[in-house]
């Protein structure tokens, strides 16, 4: 079932519900996931993502709660890159660097939305074209992002894009998850999984140095489920740089399944993630403080965790990272599937 609620300024809120009661709420503004209700081990449906109490607060949304991110997710060093012997200057929005598509990135776009119900699934197709030169990026980029809710409690996000000029592209979603339900606790007591042998080293400005470090024998070793409190309490310079937590890119290990996950022992909720992206940025909400009025409570540090499946913008300045250049005649096609069960 899909319902649409018209809001002010052309904003619409879509509610997608499956037969088990799992419920997804999405704004056409920014393609933002504002709420996601899934059952705990006793069948209680609760919201498991961070969202504002007042929808108007998404107008600025400096933490990118629930938003579609692009044209390039992550930080582009010095807000510029070279492509085909030409230098492209982007808009800086984090000091001298370019973050998450810049100040007018896709999180600020009013997407065209087409609801659908078919084959035991229902969801939303979102459309947008970024014009040549917007934000400093070359090419007219035509995008179709599909949110699909299945009857077995999976949320699939499919990203498709084409361009008429070579241009860097890596899209993601910036939802903050907290499986406690209703934001009862921080994610410190929850357990995270990332199937990765290598992560990126960051400098003091959170820009990749170009070095890949081994996750083994470090707090970044999440190859089996690890309590996040164990990560947060481990002295490590890379955790300090990121604000007492993780804000790093992990390269996925080939053929490992699932690619990532989160488990809350108290509620019994388990989220596993599959993706054909080459890796993800894991962000543990290190920059959150108590100044934000969220749906259930005020925000606080480590209240949510993001699994930003994507390529990595360091590829624009360093060798050794997956390519993120999309060329005319090619289709960008990436999918990430979040599965929700209990144990």
Catalytic pick among 128, 174, 248, 302: 174
Catalytic pick among 37, 46, 134, 308: 308
Kindly provide the b/e burial profile for residues 193-219, where b requires at least 16 CB atoms within 10 angstroms of the residue's own CB.
Answer: bbbbbbbbebeeebbbebebeebeeeb
Phi, psi of 274 (to 5 degrees): -115, 145
Does 174 participate in catalysis according to the annotation?
yes
Does 302 participate in catalysis according to the annotation?
no
DSSP of 266-283, one letter per residue?
Answer: TT-EEEEEEESSSEEEEE
Please give the C-alpha separations between residue 32 and each of 13, 233, 257, 297, 330, in angstroms, as whole numbers.
Answer: 9, 32, 27, 19, 27
* Residue 313: partners with Cβ closer than 8 Å, 6 or more residues away: 72, 73, 74, 75, 76, 77, 168, 170, 324
Three-state DSSP class for residue 229? helix
Catalytic residue list: 174, 308
């Amino acid at each position: 079932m899909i319902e649409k609620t018209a809001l002010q300024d052309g904003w619409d809120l879509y509610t997608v519900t499956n037969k088990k009661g799992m419920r997804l709420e999405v704004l056409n503004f920014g393609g933002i996931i504002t709420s996601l209700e899934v059952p705990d081990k006793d069948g209680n449906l609760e919201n498991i993502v961070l969202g504002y109490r007042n929808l108007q607060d998404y107008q600025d949304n400096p933490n990118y709660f629930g938003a579609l991110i692009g044209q390039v997710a992550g930080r582009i060093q010095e807000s510029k890159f070279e492509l085909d012997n030409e230098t492209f200057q982007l808009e800086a929005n984090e000091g001298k660097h370019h973050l998450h598509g810049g100040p007018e990135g896709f999180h600020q776009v009013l997407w065209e939305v087409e609801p659908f119900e078919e084959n035991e699934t229902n969801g939303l197709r979102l459309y947008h074209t970024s014009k040549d030169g917007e934000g400093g990026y070359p090419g007219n980029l035509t995008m179709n992002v599909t949110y699909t809710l299945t009857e077995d409690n999976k949320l699939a996000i499919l990203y498709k894009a084409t361009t008429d000029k070579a241009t860097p592209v890596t899209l993601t979603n910036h939802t903050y998850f907290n499986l406690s339900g209703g934001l009862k606790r921080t994610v410190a007591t929850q357990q995270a999984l990332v199937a990765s042998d290598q992560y990126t080293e960051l400098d003091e400005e959170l820009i990749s140095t170009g070095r890949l470090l081994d996750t083994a024998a470090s707090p970044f070793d999440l190859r089996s489920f690890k309590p996040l409190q164990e990560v947060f309490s481990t002295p490590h310079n890379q955790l300090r740089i990121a604000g007492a937590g993780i804000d790093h890119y992990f390269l996925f290990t080939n053929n490992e399944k699932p690619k990532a996950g989160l488990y809350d022992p108290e509620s019994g909720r388990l989220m596993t993630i599959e993706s054909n992206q080459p890796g993800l940025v894991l962000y543990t909400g290190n920059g959150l403080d108590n100044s934000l009025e969220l749906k259930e409570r005020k925000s606080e540090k480590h209240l949510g965790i993001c699994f930003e499946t994507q390529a990595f913008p360091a590829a624009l300045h360093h060798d050794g990272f997956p390519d993120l250049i999309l060329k005319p005649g090619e289709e960008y096609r990436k999918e990430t599937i979040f599965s929700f069960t209990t144990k």
